[in-house]
Homo-oligomer: A and B are copies of this chain.
Amino acid sequence: MAQADMLARNDTGIGAVCGILKQRFGERLQTGAALCAQHGHTTTWITNEPPDAVVFAHTTQEVVEIVKTCAAHRVPIIPFGTGTSLEGHVNAPQGGISIDVSQMDQVIEVNAGDLDCRVQPGVTRMALNTHLRDQGLFFPIDPGADASIGGMTATRASGTNAVRYGTMKDNVLSVEAVMANGEVIRTATRARKSSAGYDLTRLMVGSEGTLGVITEITLRLQGIPEAISAASCSFPTVEAACEAVMAVIQYGLPVARIELLDAMVVKAVNGYSKLDLPETPLLLLEFHGSEAGVAEQAETFGMLSAEFGGTGYAATTTLEDRNRLWQARHDAYWAMLALRPGCKAVATDVCVPISRLAEAVGAANRKAAELDLIAPIVGHAGDGNFHASVLLDLDDRGEVARAEQFVSWLAEMAIALDGTCTGEHGIGQGKKPYLLKELGGAVPVMAAIKQALDPDGIMNPGKII
């Protein structure tokens, strides 16, 4: 079907759909420009493409009704959690209905004995952890933003703890989703492992709303460790810091977090969070385990880091110091923005085999300098995943062009190193050309699956495929 034809049909359909949904959902169907714009993409430099309307769903059955109504009129559906995605996932390039699930925010059950829980998609990771704390449990996936569990599932999110606890793919046991035809599926039971048919759980994790609307998630949980300690260690060069990370991973040290900040980020963080870290490349670490285990890990790290010129290695076990350090890490994004008031950050998230990390980070630093760009680097170094964020004056066309060149170069460099253009943000709108470069012949297979499960292309069109 031609694009023009599709748009024509949307134009006819959207009025009818809005009428039906207004009657059914009353004030929970909104068409105001401000709210619609807020539900289009706002986080990064990607152009805002608002939906025609936003409907706030409260139950799976309501999502079914909305999907069936949209399907009958071939109107696009864009699932929306907190809007913190970085790749235009919530944009509505063909218009349509944004299904906002943020009010589906109940923790349905916690099975402490099984270390799992069932949640609605609008529960945020911080709300979940607050809910769990009394029971000595936590959910480890931490992408920085207080994202919704539904959105984190849809984008296969990860973050600082992934080096030890994995990504969403490893921590979602089962998904309930409303498919394009309005059917509700549950992809798995609460069993810890299963060989029962195709792994639809992992198919939905990372599907970016293009296959169905996620309405419930069953998550693996972890016991809060007996002991936690944090540490920081400075390095003469970013390459030396990366080499220390490589040694840690190859040694098998079970660090819970190992984060890289380059010198520019450390400077930014010092300013923003009122810290006095040495302004050279830095690793921030966290160790989880028994008291003895944590002490042993910290000692081993000290030994390994010294081989790569690590200095100022200091461990802390007080909750206050630890929180201060990690708050600074999580505020790094804002701290970087403050380096250049009025700028926008272009987020990138390549991920390479750990043995290529030093090489990749070094090359990214040099390439940014060559293109006269400011691109501080932070990284979930233990996974080989790093963010070079280009700080950009969007009014400077030359700079924008150079930033685009950098982003493209970075993705291709990662792919050339047998890595990926996206470790955790997803493909969304911006990375489709790189997906093809990265996986080639596998992309038509994805397209065939999309076509089979959403033949009219109504589920979050314009993303991934």
Contact = CB atoms under 8 A, between A and B. Distances in A.
A186 B439 contact: yes
Contact of A435 (B114, B196, B250, B415): B196
B354 A114 contact: yes
Nearest to A355: B113
Task: Report which residue of A444, A445, A448 has the largest number of chain B beta carbons within 10 angstroms of its beta carbon.
Answer: A445
A207 B196 contact: no
Contact of A423 (B191, B250, B293, B353): B191
Interface stretch (A155-163, A340-348, A399-407): A155-163
Nearest to A158: B193
Contacts of A225: 252
Contact of A167 (B193, B414, B439): B193
A222 interface: yes
A116 B415 CA distance: 17
A197 B419 contact: no
Identical subunits present: 2
A428 to B, nearest CB: 9
A190 B419 contact: yes
A322 interface: no
Interface stretch (A49-57, A365-373, A449-457): A449-457
A89 to B, nearest CB: 11
Interface string A152-184: 000111100010001101100000000100011
B185 A155 contact: no
B203 A199 contact: yes
A353 B446 contact: no
A4 interface: no
A196 B437 CA distance: 11
Interface residues of A, number: 92
Contacts of A194: 156, 351, 420, 422-423
A445 B199 contact: no
B196 A205 contact: no
A418 B250 contact: no
Interface string A6-33: 0000000000000000000000000000
Interface string A203-245: 1011100010000000000110100000000000000000000
Contacts of A127: none
Given A423-B195, A427-B195, A189 B115 contact: no
A385 interface: yes
A421 interface: yes
Contact of A202 (B196, B202, B426): B202
A337 interface: no
A392 B160 CA distance: 52
Task: Report which residue of A186, A187, A189, A222 has the largest number of chain B beta carbons within 10 angstroms of its beta carbon.
Answer: A189
A1 interface: no
A291 to B, nearest CB: 10
B196 A420 contact: yes
A378 to B, nearest CB: 16
Contact of A353 (B114, B184, B352): B114
A406 to B, nearest CB: 19
A189 B419 contact: yes
Contacts of A183: 441, 444-445
B197 A199 contact: no
Given A111-B355, A190-B353, 10 more contacts: A155-B195, A192-B384, A194-B420, A194-B422, A195-B420, A195-B425, A199-B205, A200-B439, A200-B445, A290-B296
18 contacts: A113-B353, A115-B250, A185-B441, A185-B442, A187-B442, A188-B439, A189-B438, A190-B419, A191-B414, A191-B419, A192-B351, A193-B351, A194-B351, A195-B423, A196-B434, A198-B211, A222-B252, A448-B452
